[in-house]
Homo-oligomer: A and B are copies of this chain.
Amino acid sequence: MADVISPEVRPARKADAAPDPAQRPAFDVIELFFFAYRDFVRDADEALAKYGFGRAHHRVLHFVDRNPGLRVTELLDILKITKQSLGRVLRELVDEGFIVQKEGEADRRQRLLHVTERGDRLARELARLQTRRVSRALATAGAQEAEAVRRFLFEIIDPEERAKVAALTGARPPKARE
């Protein structure tokens, strides 16, 4: 391999110091976010592997556990994936007895999603693992700092999505903090 060394080289590094601090790239937060998320999902991934499940199953199980009677359409809107993608993982969760679908009483087209006892156990075990990590990370934070973390995460979310997320998580509604 003779052409490994290319004549085209990287220009000298630009100084990180831009005039306006708001315009200086937030490299630190960007990278921390990447590393934090990478490790955040790891606990659950390992636990899920025992069941032959993946991250996609976790998400479905989690939101169904937290929102019993959830409609399929609502779940699609939460996860922002297609019906076909959801279909696969949902079928597996139903087949393995973690989720059941109950016909809607008012609207019999609906297949309202509920976890089984088994599904509830797994969902809570996964939540426990992630809670342990979150609790440790917030252990040294005061109430105000913990609230600052929640607010930061909330405001990273697309503005049009916030009302929905607030309703789901119990976070304060958007714009309600002035």
Contacts and interface: CB of A to CB of B under 8 A. Distances in A.
Interface of A: 4-6, 8-11, 13, 22-40, 42, 59, 62, 66, 68, 80, 97, 100-103, 111, 114-117, 119-120, 124, 127-128, 130-131, 133-138, 140-141, 144-146, 148-158, 161, 165, 168-171, 177
Contacts of A151: 140-141, 145
B153 A8 contact: no
Given A11-B117, A29-B138, A39-B161, 16 more contacts: A4-B102, A6-B102, A8-B97, A9-B114, A10-B120, A25-B127, A25-B128, A25-B131, A29-B149, A29-B153, A30-B62, A40-B156, A134-B156, A137-B155, A138-B152, A146-B148
Given A148-B149, A161-B39, A30 B137 contact: no
A127 B30 contact: yes
Given A27-B66, A31-B165, A39-B161, A135 B22 contact: yes
Copies in the complex: 2
Contacts of A117: 8, 10-11
B116 A28 contact: no
A contact face: mostly helix, strand, loop, or mixed? helix
B11 A120 contact: yes
B33 A37 contact: yes
A42 B159 CA distance: 13
Nearest to A141: B148
A101 to B, nearest CB: 6
Contacts of A33: 37, 40, 153
A149 B30 CA distance: 12
